[in-house]
A and B are shown apart, each in its own frame.
Chain A
């Protein structure tokens, strides 16, 4: 564990601190309200009908996108980076995954189902899932166009030709065939499925609750050696 020595802010009386804290609170409240507006705008996005019959491989056998809703009307898919045949387990995706089982105990009761989907074959997924002790549904999209259609996997020829566009064109992928993201789907009463939203890159950051805690900590994210350089898989930290 690394202990940093930040430049210490000035030490103040409780009254001085309170004045500074209240000034910050005004900005925090303004931000809360702006986030509320942003969320309302997000809910206004049009929905796009999904026509392709995607079939995924899960521990209980093949299943469709509709099956993943498990009786709910909304579905969140986390695009977990797991490349077929690679033994690399993405630290950032695992960090997000460490938050999911706690959260879904609740949001699944608010009409939102969850599934993680990766391009790796099911056997490879199951190995990681067991090791990390996650219980959320995690399926393989191996052999389908799903990951490519939702902008999280890139074909080698597209990478080579410089047309592997990620995060709505914000980034051109130069090597990684798989990236991370979150996609949201909705189902109507006729059982038709729609895509409503996808987010990538820093858009996934709010799913990393530990960052929300660090953002309130005196030293913040404290990433002097690079973004998430301190992060490990939860079973790879050295014992105290």
Chain B
């Protein structure tokens, strides 16, 4: 921290004003991007997806909880993970507790993972989270929205993640997330989930948006990989800090594991 340029208030202000113009410009462009996102066509969903929830068996319509819009966070927690993904957990810490605002603005937020419900419930209790978390185990939901792949798909390749077709899987470092980092963030994440890399990356992070109108459900949007960046609550703060994200590897842990790190 010692080599940073210092300046007078006037020098700082001149630089800050220049940056402010760039910030305002990107805020406006981000508004425009949101408008274009809302203009995407809708795709009717005809498949009868089934989920297990705290309230018992549920349909996709049930996840709306009476709202007209549903946002799903695809949390990486496969049936063979010991615990939920640590990276998804840090994202979940950001949205836990804010669902009340969305719910009062015609938007339901639900987390969906492929692990059996009992596993999700135990982990949710451990983390102290309150958002709804449904299990999609045994159904096509995760596969259809490109956040889970089967072992044979993994062997043979050809699945799409983040709108890109993937080759047959071989051990590699990036796995589609956090891939600007040195080290092996995917292996670190797999170890933290108590599983091997191949099993870990059969689940993928993402979010999908749905709308319900006249009893019909439509898929409107999905995003993956860095598309989730804006939902990751710790980053807007770090992005303003002098050192920025300042990361060379996976520094974050589940919130109750920092002391052990």
Contact = CB atoms under 8 A, between A and B. Distances in A.
Given A8-B213, A209-B95, A107 B238 contact: yes
Nearest to A184: B240
A130 interface: no
Interface residues of A, number: 94
B98 interface: yes
Nearest to B21: A168
A215 interface: yes
Interface string A177-198: 0000010101111000011111
Interface in A18-58: 18, 20-22, 24-25, 27-29, 31-32, 34-35, 38-49
A65 B233 CA distance: 25
Contacts of B43: 11-14, 17
B181 interface: no
Interface residues of B, number: 92
Interface stretch (A81-89, A137-145, A155-163, A229-237): A229-237
A13 B43 CA distance: 6
Of A1, A2, A106, A202, most buried by chain B (CB within 10 Å of CB) is: A106
Interface in B213-238: 213, 218-223, 226-227, 229-231, 233-234, 236-238
A39 B229 CA distance: 14
Interface stretch (B74-82, B113-121, B196-204, B243-251): B243-251
A207 B69 contact: no
B170 interface: no
B4 to A, nearest CB: 6
Contacts of A24: 33, 36-37, 40
Given A41-B22, A209-B231, A216 B163 contact: no
Interface of A: 1-4, 8-14, 16-18, 20-22, 24-25, 27-29, 31-32, 34-35, 38-49, 73-74, 76, 95, 98-99, 101-107, 109-112, 114, 168, 182, 184, 186-189, 194-199, 202-203, 205-207, 209-210, 212-222, 230-232, 234, 237-238, 240
Given A47-B5, A206-B230, 18 more contacts: A1-B103, A1-B106, A18-B163, A21-B221, A25-B163, A27-B33, A43-B242, A45-B19, A99-B98, A168-B16, A195-B12, A196-B242, A209-B230, A210-B102, A214-B102, A215-B30, A218-B221, A234-B100
Interface of B: 1-2, 4-9, 11-13, 15-17, 19-20, 22-24, 26-27, 29-30, 33-44, 66-69, 71, 90, 93-98, 100-107, 109, 163, 207, 209-211, 213, 218-223, 226-227, 229-231, 233-234, 236-247, 251-253, 255, 258
